[in-house]
Chain A
């Protein structure tokens, strides 16, 4: 499997994601947002950070960068697209995932380990987790308050597209949503940072099964 980690100007979790993927043996590379071709990659990761300074609105400028047409094309071809934090915000801005990330209910940046439940254990992102498992993954954001209108929410819920939920909602997200996927299940976004929770020395390994889930799915499909 070959993975691309997209580096937008202002991305700051690109190398964290790269190291996490390499730690699981993935052939991963940083790809600049100035590029416009992703055909050689099987999976594409949009990392956290403050793309283009997040001026105007989070992810609002990044969606117009050259790489995003290639990301859209890859999504349409059924490739795996994973957006973490700012990456999730960019995917909603680009229309590849429904809804929007708003300012936290209590405004201000929060950095904390938060408890998540596995809302759908049968996805490419969660199959290695236990059905009833509660995991702890760090969040670090000021705009993580997921919002979608009632109709969209009903669609997401009815298709089991909510992947992770907050146990104690830190930001006001509707239905405690922490991560969702698209209808085909190949485009996924979440606000928490699993790439920060893969190493015993940092005191948290709950993100490991996220990567194991992705790998097992890709390997089975390959």
Chain B
């Protein structure tokens, strides 16, 4: 037996399994099922497979509610990533993943390996990754520690994504003190494939070979899945050994070779799975479970980077850039040759069996022998939920912004990190490699052309967690609606959703309630939009010292534009164009940026949202872009009308002259279901005819430096140059301030 490992009795008596995240009840269940004490290795593999990060045992009862089927869905949740039919025998593949805990401990590697992991999910399905988006949340930019995390995360995403050559085309970044001890790093990847290249992670066929491909296994990220399923405490030292180290160069070799293997050898490849959370353990056991088979692995064959590794370490390591392939018996050499010609390890480490056992051999001993089904199905947990006490206490009055000096308010608002341009951060990402990026970061959604077709894919990530803090269900609805407005602003039709559900501890009934309500809210609007939720990720335990983050379900959405020449952008295009507001503006101030700016907090009942109004507004924008009536389109969100107008002006380097039939405060209202569009004089009549009373003319685009805004209460003059400078530079100023 392996030296220095606790005996089964010692495992029982020392209760080391508690440290690994298994409960006493779960341990007892294992003993009962195995009819003996599990040894050290077996206890370790149960702790990995039954962690929330791998098993979703706590979130599954809620996640089951997700609506995930329609006419486009080729693959829903349960595989590496979801797949949607986009016609012409092509498909789009996408998924999001979180790397929150590792990014707090080791920002660079945490973020870098987040990119690497999600890309493997995409190419293991047989798809060429074409784009990456990031949804990031940090604490306020007023302390050195947060700046260190921001710098590290940005550099990590850049270091990995740029090198592997997949463009980082968008996403969103915002700042709030609730994320200071628990930043969020969610990465979404999008891939493109021919439908006949589709792969699944299955280990079928008795005697077929399990082939290990890619990087060697080291001691990095040991039992990282359990690490990701626990809360942080600032008094305990951070667990750096649970963070993995990435090598984008190696991943590019693995990616190119895997895609080549699928192109050239799809007849002999039975299944492909990347090694993500819980590494070799979860990839191999889940492949066996999906096929209803067993697996024998010989751990002596696993390529190793370090000496003296134990079975526990080999199985639980989260070393990056590794894949598992199941290949038909007798046909292995073609696959091994292909990977070896790319200078990659490719080794047969085991076989598919028909006995349903998960069996590990190490130095001529069986070190684990457990039922696959039992290992891969953690005991379900029904957790209590209760409405958070704060919700009942919120006032139903909307916040009344202080309009003492409107011009000063606008300038201060533009400097808020959540509003100000993120270009100082995004410029570190290569957004143009592959030369397909039609709309770069800074637009409502990114747009990627599909070569050799007229089509393009729009993509975005979005969520305003402040809204969910005030009302989890309504806030989640608004998150989906806003993501769809982002997509629609480019002219593309929303077709599907991936999510990144970031919440606090599910063991807290109030947090569990938030999760349940958020999923219901996402479902409500997803069904209306016909955008099924085809993949996603759950990250729980986002708490430090008992302080949970805002409920933050990131919505990643993809849209399809049938004719890329109809793409519409945020930027005003031409002086003399007419500017319209689409949608009605109401008292929508609780949870708004101006409330946060003027009071330092978020408070009160969330303003209302009507999904019929939302759908109608989106359909109108789609019709207008399809008829090529719009010169620009931009959805309104944080900061309201004035921020939306200014963003279109800044992007086009043009000014505007408008009159709004509203009081000053409504410039800052965040009423959903609204857009700002510009229309050329030639198209004005047609536009107004189809718009009816849906659109209100505000004024025109101008060329001089002066921006003029007239409300029912004020005449406001701004300088385009001065305001744009504040908007562009504020983040850099804050990062560089001592």
Chain A positions within 8 Å of B, measured between CB atoms, are: 9-10, 12-13, 15-16, 19-20, 48-50, 52-55, 108-112, 138, 140, 193, 195-196, 198-199, 201-203
In the complex formed, the residue of B with least CB distance to A199 is B435
Pick the residue among B252, B342, B429, B432 that contacts A196 (CB under 8 A). Answer: B432
5 contacts between A and B (CB under 8 A): A109-B429, A111-B427, A140-B162, A201-B456, A202-B435
B437 CB within 8 Å of chain A: yes
List 19 additional contacts besides A9-B342, A111-B432; criterion CB under 8 Å.
Answer: A9-B249, A10-B253, A12-B163, A12-B252, A13-B165, A20-B435, A108-B155, A108-B158, A109-B158, A109-B430, A111-B430, A112-B427, A140-B430, A140-B432, A199-B435, A201-B438, A201-B456, A202-B449, A203-B438
Pick the residue among A16, A50, A55, A108 that contacts B434 (CB under 8 A). Answer: A16
Cβ B427 vs Cβ A16 within 8 A: no
Chain B positions within 8 Å of A, measured between CB atoms, are: 155, 158-159, 162-165, 247-250, 252-253, 342-343, 427-438, 440, 449, 451, 456, 564-565, 567
Cβ B165 vs Cβ A49 within 8 A: yes
Interchain nearest-CB distance for B720 vs A (Å): 20
Per the bound structure, the CA–CA distance linking A199 and B343 in Å amounts to 35
Per the bound structure, the CA–CA distance linking A203 and B568 in Å amounts to 12
Cβ B427 vs Cβ A195 within 8 A: no
Among B252, B451, B565, residue most surrounded by chain A Cβ atoms (within 10 Å) = B252
Among B162, B250, B437, residue most surrounded by chain A Cβ atoms (within 10 Å) = B162
Per the bound structure, the CA–CA distance linking A198 and B449 in Å amounts to 14
Pick the residue among B158, B252, B432, B436 that contacts A138 (CB under 8 A). Answer: B432
Pick the residue among B159, B253, B428, B433 that contacts A13 (CB under 8 A). Answer: B433
Question: Is chain A's binding surface mostly helix, strand, loop or mixed?
Answer: mixed
Per the bound structure, the CA–CA distance linking A96 and B253 in Å amounts to 28
The residues of A that contact B433 with a CB separation of less than 8 Å are 12-13, 16, 48, 140, 196
Cβ A111 vs Cβ B451 within 8 A: no
Cβ A9 vs Cβ B253 within 8 A: yes
Cβ B435 vs Cβ A111 within 8 A: no
The residues of B that contact A49 with a CB separation of less than 8 Å are 165
Cβ A53 vs Cβ B343 within 8 A: no
The residues of B that contact A55 with a CB separation of less than 8 Å are 249
The residues of A that contact B567 with a CB separation of less than 8 Å are 201
Pick the residue among B155, B163, B428, B456 that contacts A54 (CB under 8 A). Answer: B163
Cβ A53 vs Cβ B163 within 8 A: yes
Cβ A110 vs Cβ B249 within 8 A: no
Per the bound structure, the CA–CA distance linking A158 and B449 in Å amounts to 44
Cβ B162 vs Cβ A109 within 8 A: yes
Pick the residue among A13, A19, A109, A110 that contacts B451 (CB under 8 A). Answer: A19
The residues of B that contact A52 with a CB separation of less than 8 Å are 249
Do A10 and B163 form a contact, CB below 8 Å, given A110-B427, A110-B428? Answer: yes
Per the bound structure, the CA–CA distance linking A52 and B163 in Å amounts to 10
Per the bound structure, the CA–CA distance linking A16 and B435 in Å amounts to 6
Per the bound structure, the CA–CA distance linking A198 and B432 in Å amounts to 12
The residues of B that contact A196 with a CB separation of less than 8 Å are 432-433, 435
Interchain nearest-CB distance for A175 vs B (Å): 24
Interchain nearest-CB distance for B442 vs A (Å): 11
In the complex formed, the residue of A with least CB distance to B565 is A201
Do A108 and B428 form a contact, CB below 8 Å, given A10-B163, A19-B435? Answer: yes
Cβ B163 vs Cβ A50 within 8 A: yes
Interchain nearest-CB distance for B665 vs A (Å): 37
Per the bound structure, the CA–CA distance linking A16 and B166 in Å amounts to 12
Do A12 and B165 form a contact, CB below 8 Å, given A111-B430, A202-B438? Answer: yes
Identify the 4 closest CB pairs spanning chains A and B, nearest first: A12-B165, A53-B249, A16-B435, A50-B163
Cβ A12 vs Cβ B164 within 8 A: yes
Interchain nearest-CB distance for B288 vs A (Å): 33
In the complex formed, the residue of B with least CB distance to A111 is B430
In the complex formed, the residue of B with least CB distance to A34 is B341
In the complex formed, the residue of B with least CB distance to A198 is B435
Interchain nearest-CB distance for A170 vs B (Å): 10
Per the bound structure, the CA–CA distance linking A12 and B163 in Å amounts to 8
In the complex formed, the residue of A with least CB distance to B449 is A201
Interchain nearest-CB distance for B461 vs A (Å): 19
Among B158, B431, B432, B436, residue most surrounded by chain A Cβ atoms (within 10 Å) = B432
The residues of B that contact A195 with a CB separation of less than 8 Å are 435
The residues of A that contact B564 with a CB separation of less than 8 Å are 201
Per the bound structure, the CA–CA distance linking A44 and B588 in Å amounts to 60
Per the bound structure, the CA–CA distance linking A199 and B435 in Å amounts to 9
In the complex formed, the residue of A with least CB distance to B434 is A16
Do A193 and B428 form a contact, CB below 8 Å, given A10-B252, A50-B163, A53-B248? Answer: no
The residues of A that contact B438 with a CB separation of less than 8 Å are 201-203
Per the bound structure, the CA–CA distance linking A138 and B434 in Å amounts to 12
Per the bound structure, the CA–CA distance linking A193 and B249 in Å amounts to 21
